[in-house]
Structure 1
Amino acid sequence: MLASNTQVEKEDDTTLSHPIRTNISLNIRPKTSLDLVLIRPAQPVATLVLMPGGPGKAGISGVNIINRADFVTLTAEIYVAQQIAIAVIDAPSDQPDGLTPRYRQTKTHEAELAMIIERLANETGLPIWVLGISRSTLSAMHAAINIENGISGLVLLSSITNIPIGSGATNLTDLSLDQVSMPTLIIAHKKDSCQGTPPRGATEILENLKNSSNAVIKFFQGGFESGQNPCLPETYHTFNGIQDKVAELIAEFIKNNIKSSNHSD
Structure 2
Amino acid sequence: MAATILLGACLAWAGGARAEVAAGGVMRVDTRGVSVPLYAAWREDAVATVVLYSGGNGGYGQVGADGWPGSQNFLVRAARLFAAQPFNVVLVGLAPDLRELDGRARLGDSHAQDNQAIFKAIKAKSAAPLWLVGTSMGTISVAAAAIRDGAAGDVAGIVLTSTVTAYKREGAVPTQDIGKIKVPVLVVHHQQDACGICRPWEAKTLASRLGGAPVTKTMLVDGGSEPGGDVCGALHYHGFIGMEQQAVDLIANWIRHPAP
TM-score bin (small chain) = 0.7 to 0.9
Pairing partner for 1:115 from 114, 117, 135: 117
Gaps of 5+ in 1: 1-16, 261-265
- The structure whose RCO (Cα within 8 Å, separation 6+) is larger is 2
Is the Cα–Cα contact under 8 Å of residues 52 and 133 in structure 1 kept in the other structure?
A: yes
Q: Secondary structure at the match of 1:152?
A: strand
State the Cα distance separating 1:173 from its structure 2 match.
1.1
Cα distance in structure 2, aligned partners of 1:223 and 1:113: 32
Matched AA of 2:117: M
Cα distance in structure 2, aligned partners of 1:55 and 1:163: 19
Is the Cα–Cα contact under 8 Å of residues 25 and 40 in structure 2 kept in the other structure?
A: yes
Compared with structure 1, are the counterparts of its residues 59 and 251 closer, same or farther at alpha carbon in structure 2 (3 Å cutoff)? same
Compared with structure 1, are the counterparts of its residues 123 and 200 closer, same or farther at alpha carbon in structure 2 (3 Å cutoff)? same
Equivalent position of 2:127 in the other structure: 125
Cα distance in structure 1, aligned partners of 2:21 and 2:108: 38
Equivalent position of 1:71 in the other structure: 74
Equivalent position of 1:86 in the other structure: 89
State the Cα distance separating 1:140 from its structure 2 match.
0.2
Equivalent position of 1:142 in the other structure: 144
Pairing partner for 1:99 from 101, 120, 126: 101
Compared with structure 1, are the counterparts of its residues 235 and 20 closer, same or farther at alpha carbon in structure 2 (3 Å cutoff)? closer
Q: Deviations over 1:8-27 (max 9, x none)?
A: xxxxxxxxx97572421112
Pairing partner for 1:23 from 23, 26, 36: 26
State the Cα distance separating 1:29 from its structure 2 match.
2.2
Map 1:1-265 → 2, pairs under 5 A:
19=22, 21-30=24-33, 32-61=34-63, 64-96=67-99, 98-148=100-150, 149-164=153-168, 167=169, 169-257=170-258
Q: How big is the alpha-carbon RMSD for the aligned residues of Structure 1 and Structure 2?
A: 2.0
Q: Deviations over 1:22-68 (max 9, x none)?
A: 421112222x2211111122400010000111111212559944333
Range that drifts further, 54-63 or 235-244: 54-63
Q: Secondary structure at the match of 2:214?
A: coil
Matched AA of 2:155: I
Cα distance in structure 2, aligned partners of 1:227 and 1:163: 26
Equivalent position of 2:9 in the other structure: none
Cα distance in structure 2, aligned partners of 1:18 and 1:25: 22
Cα distance in structure 2, aligned partners of 1:55 and 1:170: 14
Q: Deviations over 1:206-235 (max 9, x none)?
A: 110112111000011111343221111110
Cα distance in structure 1, aligned partners of 2:121 and 2:131: 13
Structure 1 runs of 4+ aligned residues shifted over 6 Å read none
State the Cα distance separating 1:111 from its structure 2 match.
0.8
Cα distance in structure 2, aligned partners of 1:147 and 1:22: 27
Q: Secondary structure at the match of 1:130?
A: strand
Q: Deviations over 1:130-166 (max 9, x none)?
A: 01010010000000000141100000001111153xx
Is the Cα–Cα contact under 8 Å of residues 80 and 86 in structure 1 kept in the other structure?
A: yes
Give me the identity figure in percent. 24
Q: Secondary structure at the match of 2:50?
A: strand
Gaps of 5+ in 2: 1-19
Is the Cα–Cα contact under 8 Å of residues 230 and 236 in structure 1 kept in the other structure?
A: yes
Is the Cα–Cα contact under 8 Å of residues 98 and 105 in structure 2 kept in the other structure?
A: no
Is the Cα–Cα contact under 8 Å of residues 152 and 182 in structure 1 kept in the other structure?
A: yes
Q: Deviations over 1:76-102 (max 9, x none)?
A: 111221101110111112233x21121
Is the Cα–Cα contact under 8 Å of residues 146 and 155 in structure 2 kept in the other structure?
A: yes
Compared with structure 1, are the counterparts of its residues 83 and 184 closer, same or farther at alpha carbon in structure 2 (3 Å cutoff)? same
